[in-house]
């Protein structure tokens, strides 16, 4: 530089990056996860009257998840169920159809399942008949609940986020109504029907794990290799492009949501037929919403979704144990903890997508590049778009 | 004698992603009362440089002097404080506001909002420079050129003495461009300094006093317009000798491939977009379609490709009707359509898909079984990259990371690769620099020599006059005439585009767009037309 003043730029720029290696990404995620847990542990120690050692939280968490064989099975089962719901959302989300109605789709399936079991018990038909009917009807119920907003979106361009969200409340409301009809007196909850339902293989936890494992494999190929998966991704990218390529956007939208609903229905079936044996308005355990986060964090990649789903179940089961060990009276603190970890994981995306360049940092020249600590890869010049306006923050 | 300087840039550099060079050591001077053209290929950093002057970006290195004083421009407001205003390529206006309301938007002088005095001031500015505008007109009622006028007045209203216009003529007809240039000249006489970015060399030569050239982010030099010519400018811009000639190879015209008669199409809002249009394309012929943007071009493309229902008329391909066939069936018959919209990527390509995935967009269905065939697609992608010299790290790079020219090569290349016999292409060189544009023209000419019929919907009349064999002019969805490119002039086309000249009215006896050697006899046409009518009833 020949005596030029450089100048008066803001303290730092936020610069977009697109070239981070997978290894580095994983490292950032891991750091965020651990960092979040550390903060939570300090927070828990401060709030607890029983203990002052923040590290006890970690032992407590591990105990809660891996402490007994049963706990571990439950961890696998809950992780699998959440993964299943996430898999249900993936095709819709890849199509940029924001299906926020998984809760409703699951609950309506549970309701139908319970009705069939109740009918079975009253009429005394064999369990096999009931199970076959349950499979068909539960999946069918999920499909209907998901297809309604899809049809409206396809033909009348309604907003699917509001529509699917509202259907959640309708489904939950329907369950409440049915409970008052089926159990007009007493506790206000339905008695479990254990005589009917899905067969127990090895133990109650194994079936959902098996089903979701198979589902994951199928969905991986469906989303990444199949024509359907390709089509829905094109629709998600640009409806005009899909239309210009001769695709039937309406049909693809509805077909994809049928799949999404069918998987939710399947999860509902597993819940009512194998785990709860009963139904209530929160049978879904909030998984429909949690799955939005797991699939989003996984960037809609089915394999990464496995990791995010199990991580979240790990925290939530772990915190359950912490709550007991630390003597918290309600689960509010556990929820705060979850929130903190989520926040850390979401916030770390900023460092994956952007980098801060400070005013004082040296400018790159032809052969050395400080930020990367290694020579920049030569990119073809023409690759640079003239309007590389992407997120030049810090100066607006 | 020293001329007073309006803006001086010294050693300005800007990097993106921390390492991509957008501008490097750019030195440039804008004198008071002059019009300076900024010329460069796509991706040469013109817009980035201007954005730094107008406060959208801040330079990483270097200094900016305004009127001889060093300044720091951190925001568009800072820019206005230094009397610098930029008119962007994409308008930033509120549709439901009036012209005057848009013009004062964001201003805080005095805190009093007096519509009447604002209107009066807007009118005064308009009158001074010869703009034609109604301050009370709503933006949504305006044509593109009117919107641009609002943008320019917006800048003048803020008292700008230095105006930067980013490709202002891209959206204008030749007549409108002339008008704009007249206004710019009047501003120059008034002592304003103007920087104008444009790709069109003839415009550069017509309007500017001096021309500054950028190449790959670096400053190449500045020349006086009176002492240069198109060839020299292009060479400075590209950095090597280039042949500035669009070929129009002579071919043997075959029988009509695509014949369209009395076609009528509605637009999305139900108004008539194409009204009783007849024309035909022969094999080995390029038929240009000229017209102001939005006068039915898009609807015409979509109707031919089977993506839009028609209201009446016939589309015959080699003597067989295309009406009622699906988009897929039509493309299987060898009719390909590529439409480059303003945002380039919106139709025809999926931006975050790789080149490979984009290659199979139209024929992914041909693979056997439920899975897509990426292996073949990758091979085709690599072939295309080699053949059209597409600059990309690999066939797996998302297309949104390619530059505009390469994106368009992917799109046009894919269409041609499918071996069509009719190509319908709209704005294939939209926003491309000279080099890339010529590459596309060459591709089209190559197809033409193979006997393909090409419908070329374009914007640049000079190009159409050089490239096309015949040109059809549309105005509000009606055909104003079909002329031989060799026998017409730009002025005639301009008049037809605006509807001032209607050859179909003047030469009533000549039946425009009806081929003498049609694939069908008149009786067959009549019969088919009747059948269509029956179907519709």
Any chain A CB within 8 A of the CB of B365? Answer: yes
Q: Mark yes or no for CB contact A233/B46 under 8 Å.
A: no
pLDDT of A372 above 50: no
Same domain, B158 and B303: no
Judged by CB atoms closer than 8 Å, whether chains meet at B60 and A238 is answered as no
Q: Which residues contact B416 (CB under 8 A, 6 or more apart)?
A: B336, B423, B443, B447
Alpha-carbon distance of A34 to A182, in angstroms, equals 47
Pairing of strands B210-215, B193-197: unpaired
Kind plus residue range of the DSSP H or E element containing B266: strand B256-266
pLDDT, position A135: 96
Of B238, B267, B284, which residue sits at a domain end?
B238
Inside any domain, residue B106: yes
List residues bridging with B335 in a β-sheet: B422
Q: Which helix (H) or strand (E) holds A56?
A: helix A56-66
B447-472 pLDDT, tens per residue? 899 888 999 998 888 889 999 999 99
Q: Which of these, A268, A259, A260, A258, lies nearest to A138 by C-alpha position?
A: A268
Q: Does B214 share its domain with B340?
A: no
Cβ–Cβ gap A4/B62 under 8 Å = yes
Contact yes or no for B249/B299 (Cβ under 8 A): no
d(CA B448, CA B249): 8
Q: How many domains does chain B have?
A: 2
Q: For B401, which of A230, A237, A383 is closest by C-beta distance?
A: A383
Tell me if residue A297 falls in helix, strand or coil. helix
Residues of chain B short of pLDDT 50, as ranges, are 1
Q: How far is Cα of residue B147 from the mean position of the Cα atoms in its chain?
A: 17
* Owning domain of residue B39: 5-238
User: What one-character DSSP code corresponds to residue B39?
Assistant: E
B275 belongs to a structural domain: yes
Asked whether the beta carbons of residue A9 and residue B60 sit closer than 8 angstroms, the reply is yes
Minimal C-alpha gap between B214 and chain A (Å): 12
B394 touches chain A (CB under 8 A): no
* Among the listed residues B166, B229, B248, B235, the one whose alpha carbon sits nearest the alpha carbon of residue B435: B235
Residue B2, exposed/middle/buried by CB under 10 A (0-12, 13-18, 19+)? Answer: exposed
CB B197 within 8 A of CB B47: yes
Write the residue in B18, B46, B61 that is nearest to A6 by C-beta.
Answer: B61
Give the one of B348, B352, B364 whose C-beta lies nearest to A227's C-beta: B364
Length of chain A: 396
Identify all chain B residues contacting A369, using CB atoms and an 8 Å cutoff: 18-19
Q: Residue B325 contacts by C-beta under 8 Å, 6 or more apart in sequence?
A: B306, B333
Residue A362's pLDDT is 46
pLDDT in tens, A158-190: 999 999 999 999 999 999 999 999 988 777 788
Reference B41, options B200, B174, B215; nearest CA is B215
Count CB-CB contacts under 10 A for residue A157. Answer: 8
Mutate which of A220, A299, A388, A393 to test chain B, going by most B C-beta atoms within 10 A? A388
- Same-domain status, B193 and B334: no
3-state secondary structure of B237: helix
Domain membership of residue B393 (yes or no) is: no
Q: The tokens of A132 are what?
A: 């076959």
pLDDT at residue A48, as a whole number: 77
pTM listed for this prediction: 0.76
Is A395 a residue whose pLDDT tops 80? no
- Express each pLDDT in A109-155 by its tens digit: 999 999 999 999 999 899 999 999 999 999 999 999 999 999 999 99
* Cβ pair A227:B357 closer than 8 A: no
Cα A253 → chain centroid: 21
Query: Which residue, among B84, B83, B104, B108, has the nearest Cα to B93 in the 3D structure?
Result: B104
Q: Which of A95-104, A314-323, B234-243 has the lowest mean pLDDT?
A: B234-243
Q: Which residue has the tokens 């990309």?
A: B392
- Residues near B85 by Cβ (< 8 Å), separated by ≥ 6? B54, B79, B154, B155, B156, B158, B160, B162, B163, B164
Residue B24 at interface with chain A, using a CB cutoff of 8 Å: no
Position B502 scores a pLDDT of 84
- Give yes or no for B305 touching A (CB within 8 A): yes
ipTM score assigned to the predicted complex:
0.77
To the nearest whole Å, the CA of A366 is away from the closest chain B CA by 9
A382–B405: do the CB atoms touch at under 8 Å? yes
Do residue B170 and residue B303 come from a single domain?
no
Q: Tell me: do B193 and B307 sit in the same domain.
A: no
Q: In whole angstroms, what is the distance from residue A201 CA to residue A167 CA?
A: 34
Neighboring chain B residues of A363 at a CB cutoff of 8 Å:
13, 15, 60-61
In a domain, B489, yes or no: yes
User: B20 touching A, CB under 8 A?
Assistant: yes
DSSP symbol at A273: I
* In a domain? residue B384: no
A346-384 burial code (b ≥16 CB/10 A, e <16):
eebbebeebbebeeeeeebeeeebebeeeebeeeeebbb
DSSP annotation of B354 reads B
- What gap in Å lies between CA A58 and CA A318, rounded to an integer? 9
Of B204, B238, B272, at which residue does a domain stop? B238
Query: How many alpha carbons fall within 13 Å on the CB side of residue B210?
Result: 17
Which two tokens mark A95?
């199509």
**What is the distance between the alpha carbons of residues A199 and B113, in angstroms, rounded to a whole number?**
75
Tell me the chain A residues in contact with residue B44 when contact means C-beta distances shorter than 8 Å.
Answer: 386
User: Which residues on chain A are in Cβ contact (under 8 Å) with B60?
Assistant: 6, 9, 363
Q: Which residues contact B227 (CB under 8 A, 6 or more apart)?
A: none
Between B75, B349, B360, which is nearest A396 by CB? B75
Q: How far apart are CA B523 and CA B275, in angstroms?
A: 23
- Give the residue on B whose Cα is nearest the Cα of A360: B60
Predicted confidence (pLDDT) at residue A377 exceeds the cutoff of 80: no
Residue in chain A nearest B368 by alpha carbon? A227
CA dihedral B191, B197, B203, B207 (to 10 degrees): 10
Backbone angles phi, psi at A377, to 5 degrees: -75, 140
Inter-chain residue contact A382 with B406, CB threshold 8 Å? yes
Question: In the structure encoding, which two tokens stand for residue B24, read together?
Answer: 């490097």
B18–A355: do the CB atoms touch at under 8 Å?
Answer: yes
> If you search the block for the tokens 């199409």, which residue do you land on?
B265
Above 70 in pLDDT, residue A396?
no
Do residues B423 and B453 lie in contact, with contact meaning Cβ atoms separated by under 8 Å? yes
Which tokens belong to B167? 């490709």
In B318-405 the beta strands, taken as DSSP E runs, fall at: 320-321, 335-339
Give the single-character DSSP code of A216.
Answer: H
Cβ atoms of A318 and A79 within 8 Å: the answer is no
B58 CA to chain A: closest CA distance, Å? 6
Specify the pLDDT at position A374.
38
pLDDT for A225 equals 94
pLDDT of residue A91: 97
The pLDDT score that the predictor gives to residue A127 is: 92
Q: What is the mean pLDDT of residues A281-296?
A: 92
For residue B416, the surrounding DSSP H or E stretch is helix B404-417
Q: Pick from A108, A234, A226: which is nearest to A173 by CA?
A: A108
Q: From B375, B383, B468, B369, select the one nearest B418 (Cα to Cα).
A: B383
SS3 A380: coil
- Which residues of chain A lie closer than 8 angstroms to B22, CB-CB? 384, 388
Question: Which residues on B lie below 8 Å from A392 (Cβ)?
Answer: 16, 56-57
Gap between the Cα atoms of B87 and B81, Å rounded: 16
> Which of B207, B238, B269 is the C-terminal boundary of a domain?
B238
User: Is-contact B488 B461, C-beta < 8 A?
Assistant: no
Q: Å from B412 to nearest chain A CA?
A: 14
3-state secondary structure of B444: helix
Quote the pLDDT of residue A393.
Answer: 39
- Scanning B24-173, the segments in alpha helix (DSSP H) are 46-53, 76-81, 99-104, 115-129, 144-157
| CA pair distance A240, A246, nearest whole angstrom | 10
CB contact under 8 A, B48 and A386: yes
Rounded-to-integer distance, Cα A183 and Cα A177, Å: 10
Chain A residues closer than 8 Å to B357 by CB: 230
> What is the distance in angstroms between the CA of the first residue and the CA of the last residue of chain A?
28
Query: For the segment A191-226, what is each residue's pLDDT rounded down to a tens digit?
Result: 898 888 888 887 878 999 999 999 999 999 999 999
Q: Which residue of A has its CA nearest to B415?
A: A245
Count, residues in chain B: 537
B168, B180 contact by CB (below 8 A): yes
Which H or E element spans position A261? helix A249-270
User: How far is it, in rounded angstroms, from Cα B154 to Cα B145?
Assistant: 14
Please answer yes or no on whether B72 and A226 come within 8 Å at the CB atom: no
Residues B92 and B187 in one domain: yes
Task: From chain B, pick out residues whose CB is under 8 angstroms from the CB of A396.
Answer: 75
Residue B59 sits at the chain A interface (C-beta within 8 Å): yes
Please state, as a whole number, how many other Cβ atoms lie within 10 Å of the Cβ of residue B530. 10
Are residues B88 and A29 in contact, defined by beta-carbon separation less than 8 angstroms? no
Q: In what order do the strands lie in the sheet with B453-457?
A: B335-339, B422-426, B453-457, B286-290, B470-475, B478-484
Q: What is the CATH number of the domain that holds B467?
A: 3.40.50.300
Surface-to-core class of residue B467, CB atoms within 10 Å of its CB (0-12 exposed, 13-18 middle, 19+ buried): buried
Interface test with A, best of B239, B350, B374, B397 (most A CBs within 10 A): B350
B90 touches chain A (CB under 8 A): no
Tell whether B402 is covered by a domain: no
Instruction: For the beta carbon of residue B114, count every other beta carbon within 10 angstroms.
Output: 11
Same domain, B83 and B210: yes
Contact across the interface for A228 and B370, Cβ inside 8 Å: yes
């Amino acid at each position: 530089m020949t005596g030029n003043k450089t100048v008066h730029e803001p303290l730092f720029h936020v610069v977009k990056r697109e070239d981070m290696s997978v290894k580095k990404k994983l490292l950032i995620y891991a750091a965020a996860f651990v960092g979040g847990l550390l903060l939570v542990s300090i927070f828990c120690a401060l709030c607890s009257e029983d203990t002052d050692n923040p590290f006890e939280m970690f032992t407590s968490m591990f105990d809660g998840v891996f402490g007994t064989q049963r706990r571990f099975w439950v961890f696998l089962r809950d992780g699998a169920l959440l993964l299943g719901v996430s898999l249900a959302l993936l095709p819709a989300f890849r199509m940029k159809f924001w299906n926020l109605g998984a809760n409703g789709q699951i609950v309506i399936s549970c309701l139908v399942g319970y009705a069939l079991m109740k009918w079975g018990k009253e009429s005394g038909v064999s369990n096999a008949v009931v199970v076959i009917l349950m499979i068909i009807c539960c999946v069918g119920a999920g499909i209907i609940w998901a297809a309604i907003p899809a049809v409206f979106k396809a033909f009348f361009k309604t907003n699917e986020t509001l529509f699917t969200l509202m259907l959640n409340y309708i489904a939950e409301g329907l369950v409440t109504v049915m409970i008052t009809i089926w159990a007009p007196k007493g506790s206000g909850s339905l008695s479990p029907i254990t005589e009917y339902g899905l067969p127990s293989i090895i133990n109650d936890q194994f079936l959902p794990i098996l089903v979701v494992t198979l589902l994951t494999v199928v969905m991986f190929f469906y989303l990444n290799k199949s024509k359907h998966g390709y089509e829905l991704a094109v629709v998600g990218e640009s409806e005009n492009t899909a239309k210009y390529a001769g695709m039937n956007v309406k049909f693809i939208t509805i077909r994809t949501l049928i799949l999404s609903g069918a998987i939710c229905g399947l999860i509902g079936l597993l819940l009512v037929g194998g785990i709860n044996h009963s139904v209530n308005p929160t049978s879904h355990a909030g998984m429909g919403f949690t799955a939005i986060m797991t699939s989003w964090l996984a960037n809609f990649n089915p394999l990464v979704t496995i990791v995010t789903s199990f991580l979240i179940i790990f925290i939530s089961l772990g915190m359950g144990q912490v709550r007991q060990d630390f003597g918290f009276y309600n689960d509010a603190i556990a929820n705060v903890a979850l929130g903190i970890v989520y926040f850390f994981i979401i916030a770390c995306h900023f460092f994956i997508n952007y980098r801060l360049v400070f005013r004082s940092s040296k400018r790159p020249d032809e052969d050395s590049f400080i930020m990367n600590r290694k020579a920049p890869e030569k990119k073809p010049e023409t690759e640079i778009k003239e309007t590389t306006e992407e997120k030049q923050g810090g100066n607006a | 004698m020293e001329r007073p300087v309006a803006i001086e840039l010294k050693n300005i550099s800007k990097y993106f992603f921390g390492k991509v060079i957008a501008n490097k050591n750019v030195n440039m001077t804008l004198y008071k009362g002059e019009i300076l053209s900024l010329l460069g290929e796509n991706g040469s950093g013109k817009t980035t440089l201007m954005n730094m002057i107008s406060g959208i970006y801040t330079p990483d290195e270097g200094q900016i002097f305004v009127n001889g004083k060093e300044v720091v421009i951190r925001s568009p407001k800072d820019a206005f404080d230094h009397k610098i205003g930029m008119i962007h390529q994409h308008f930033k206006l509120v549709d439901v506001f009036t012209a005057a309301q848009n013009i004062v938007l964001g201003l805080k002088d005095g805190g009093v909002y007096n519509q009447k005095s604002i209107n009066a001031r807007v009118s005064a500015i308009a009158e001074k420079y010869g703009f034609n505008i109604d301050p009370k007109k709503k933006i949504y009622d305006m044509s593109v050129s009117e919107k641009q006028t609002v943008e320019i007045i917006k800048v003048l209203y803020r008292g700008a003495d230095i105006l930067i216009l980013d490709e202002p003529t891209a959206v204008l007809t030749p007549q409108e461009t002339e008008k704009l240039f007249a206004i710019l000249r009047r501003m120059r006489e008034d002592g304003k300094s103007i920087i104008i970015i444009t790709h069109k060399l003839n415009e550069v030569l017509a309007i500017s006093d001096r021309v500054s050239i950028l190449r790959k982010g670096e400053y190449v030099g500045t020349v006086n317009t009176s002492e240069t010519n198109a060839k020299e400018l292009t060479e400075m811009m590209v950095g090597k000798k280039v042949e500035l000639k669009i070929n129009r190879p002579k071919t043997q015209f075959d029988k009509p491939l695509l014949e369209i008669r009395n076609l009528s199409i509605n637009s999305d809002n139900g108004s008539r977009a194409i009204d009783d249009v007849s024309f035909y394309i022969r094999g080995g012929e390029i038929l240009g379609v000229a017209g102001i943007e939005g006068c039915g071009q898009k609807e015409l493309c979509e109707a031919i490709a089977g993506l839009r229902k028609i209201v009446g008329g016939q589309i015959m391909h080699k003597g067989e009707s295309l009406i009622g066939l699906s988009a897929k069936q039509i493309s299987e018959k060898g009719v390909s359509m590529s439409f480059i919209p303003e945002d380039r990527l919106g139709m025809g390509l999926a931006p975050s898909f790789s080149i490979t995935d984009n290659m199979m967009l139209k024929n992914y269905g041909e693979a056997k079984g439920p899975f897509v065939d990426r292996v073949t697609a990758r091979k085709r992608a690599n072939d295309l990259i080699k053949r059209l010299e597409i600059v990309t790290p690999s066939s797996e790079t998302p297309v949104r990371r390619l530059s505009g020219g390469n994106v368009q090569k992917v799109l046009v290349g894919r269409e041609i690769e499918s071996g069509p016999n009719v190509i319908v292409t709209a704005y294939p060189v939209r926003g491309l620099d000279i080099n890339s544009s010529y590459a596309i023209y060459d591709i089209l000419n190559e197809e033409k020599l193979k006997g393909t019929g090409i419908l070329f919907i374009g914007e640049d009349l000079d190009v159409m006059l050089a490239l096309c064999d015949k040109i059809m002019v549309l105005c509000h969805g009606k055909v104003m005439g079909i002329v031989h490119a060799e026998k017409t002039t730009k002025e005639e086309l301009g008049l037809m585009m605006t509807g001032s000249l209607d050859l179909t009215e003047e030469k009533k006896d000549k039946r425009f767009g009806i081929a003498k050697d049609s694939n069908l006899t008149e009786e067959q046409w009549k019969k088919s037309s009747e059948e269509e009518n029956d179907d519709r009833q």
